[in-house]
Amino acid sequence: MNVDPEAPAVVPVEASAGPPAGGSRDLDEARALELLGGTDVGRVVYTVRALPAVLPVRFRLDAGGGVLVSAAAGSELARAVDGAVIAFEADEVDGTDGTGWCVTVLGRAEVRRPARGPGAARVEIRIGAELVVGRHLTADLS
């Protein structure tokens, strides 16, 4: 196979012939954040040495819709995400019929180091809510 080293690495994506299997519909940002605020476990999606990493975490939301996660100060997560654009995802899906919801928050992560004291071994990671995408999953009617 001849590959032009100057050519961009682009993979064509074909348009979908219809709605995804199982069906879904978009949620507005306010409803997506409301659902996200009703749960406390999600997944941080980031990169480590150019490879994807996914870590389940407990979280909470701040008043601006940012996602707040606590981590050990010297953890791989804290080192990898500071200043990076990352994703956060949480969902609630019924295993029987596949109904539920999924919310993804994309934004820049900021590692906040606490003042000296008993909490100094931990940091707070804030993921700004620059883009919030929510989907309501409906039962497959096919």
Query: pLDDT tens across 39-89, in order?
Result: 999 999 999 999 999 999 999 999 989 999 999 988 999 999 999 999 999
pLDDT band at 9 (very low <50, low <70, confident <90, very high): very low
Q: What is the pLDDT of residue 37?
A: 95
Which one, of 40, 19, 31, lies nearest residue 133 by Cα?
31
Cβ contacts of 132 within 8 Å, gap of 6 or more: 29, 32, 33, 65, 103, 104, 105, 106
Output the pTM of the full model. 0.78
Going by pLDDT thresholds of 50, 70 and 90, the confidence category of residue 139 is confident
